[in-house]
């Protein structure tokens, strides 16, 4: 989170101060979640899931549109991105449901998980219906990436989707081994990188701190994931183990998709880099998830 704030202060100083405030608040959420009774979250799993579904429906009707995407609810003091709540509510929902089911050793088949599959489908479908995930938009992004990889150029694509990827790749590559230095990245400072404080902030970091800086960041992500994986074998109950598995998958997929996106390996999608990209909703719920992980490590692991 500190490295993310450092890059954000270089990308857009006004957003840095806002994110700093959210960082303090998110740290409070982490501490509260860490030392709460985990049974409260277990009992709240189903109500939280259904509340999340209601909020996702509300977004489709009264959601606030930013950058062509209708994904936020204006709650006065912040624009609340409901899809970030979905990530943690689905993890808790699946953990609660699977905790009630038998293990594979007791007898189990794919039909037993149909209710959970349907439970995942509903929020995914509602998020899909938001404008930025429309079929035509996604086709354009995929076609743009493939066209660029095989060397085909088009005036329309070069001015939209391909531009985002190209400028990001230039920024990442120009960082080389040691980077250009803090606030010395030309792609960043001259504002060539699109969405340089949110989805593409990794490009800002890579340009300014280079390959070694990127390796240090990836090491921190791998270290966190290794710690969570290590905890899975030590927990005393299935509910806790399922939360750890969900948390690990959630973090790893976001890191993989975001970095793949900004380096031109995957199509451009609105996936933030955990604890790095600007956004209060993402930061708060990621810290809440880590609070659950820390809670489990404190209270539900063998010594």
Give how many domains the chain has, as a whole number.
2
Q: Are residues 125 and 256 in the same domain?
A: no
- The 8-class DSSP code of residue 151 comes to T
Residues 74 and 161 in one domain: no
Provide the angle, in degrees to the nearest 10, between the axes of the packed helices 161-174 and 201-232: 80
Q: What is the mean pLDDT of residues 251-271?
A: 88
DSSP category for residue 266: S
**Same domain (yes/no): 154, 270:** yes
- Please check whether residues 161 and 80 belong to one and the same domain: no
Q: Are residues 159 and 256 in the same domain?
A: yes
Asked if the structure places residue 139 within a domain, the reply is no
- pLDDT top residue among 110 and 32: 32
Residues 76 and 179 in one domain: no
- Alpha-carbon distance of 9 to 241, in angstroms, equals 37
Domain that holds residue 51: 44-103+114-133
**159 and 66 in a common domain:** no
Residue 79 φ then ψ, to 5°: -95, 110
Q: 193 and 231 share a domain?
A: yes
Give 95-134 pLDDT, tens digit per residue. Answer: 999 888 776 666 667 777 888 899 999 998 888 877 654 3
Question: With 70 as the cut, is the pLDDT of residue 141 above it?
Answer: no
pLDDT at 129: 79
Q: Is residue 140 part of a domain?
A: no
- Spatial separation of the C-alpha atoms in residues 302 and 234, rounded to whole Å: 6
Q: How much is the pTM?
A: 0.85
Mark whether 257 and 175 lie in a shared domain. yes
Question: Is residue 142, in this structure, part of any structural domain at all?
Answer: no
Residues 60 and 179 occupy one common structural domain: no
Residues 207 and 287 in one domain: yes
Residues 6+ apart with CB under 8 A from 110: none
204-236 as b/e, with b when 16 or more CB fall inside 10 Å?
Answer: bbbbbbbeebbeebeeebeebbeebeebbeebe
Residue 68 pLDDT grade (very low, low, confident, very high; cuts 50, 70, 90): low
Q: Are residues 51 and 23 in the same domain?
A: no
In percent, the amount of the chain with pLDDT more than 70 equals 86
């Amino acid at each position: 989170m500190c490295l993310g704030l450092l890059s954000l202060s270089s990308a857009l100083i006004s957003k840095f101060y806002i994110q700093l405030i959210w960082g303090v608040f998110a740290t409070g959420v982490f501490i509260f979640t860490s030392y709460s009774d985990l049974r409260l979250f277990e009992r709240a799993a189903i109500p939280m899931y259904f509340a999340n579904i209601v909020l996702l429906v509300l977004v489709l009707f009264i959601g606030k549109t930013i950058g062509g995407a209708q994904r936020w609810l204006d709650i006065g003091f912040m624009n609340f991105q409901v899809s970030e709540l979905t990530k943690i509510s689905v993890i808790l929902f699946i953990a609660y449901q699977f905790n009630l089911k038998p293990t594979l050793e007791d007898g189990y088949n794919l039909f037993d998980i149909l209710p959970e599959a349907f439970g995942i489908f509903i929020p995914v479908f509602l998020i899909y219906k938001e404008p930025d995930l429309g079929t035509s938009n996604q086709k354009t992004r995929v076609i743009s990436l493939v066209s660029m990889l095989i060397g085909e150029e088009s005036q329309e694509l070069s001015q939209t989707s391909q531009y985002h990827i190209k400028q990001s790749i230039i920024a990442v590559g120009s960082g080389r081994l040691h980077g250009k230095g803090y606030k010395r990245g030309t792609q960043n400072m001259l504002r060539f990188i699109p969405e340089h404080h949110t989805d593409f902030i990794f490009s800002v970091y890579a340009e300014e701190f280079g390959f070694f800086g990127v390796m240090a960041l990836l090491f921190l992500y791998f270290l966190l994931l290794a710690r969570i994986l290590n905890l899975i074998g030590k927990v005393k109950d299935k509910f806790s183990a399922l939360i750890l598995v969900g948390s690990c998958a959630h973090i790893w997929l976001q890191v993989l998709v975001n970095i793949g996106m900004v380096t031109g390996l995957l199509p451009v999608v609105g996936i933030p880099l955990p604890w790095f990209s600007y956004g209060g909703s993402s930061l708060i719920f990621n810290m809440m998830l880590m609070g659950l992980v820390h809670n489990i490590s404190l209270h539900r692991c063998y010594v």
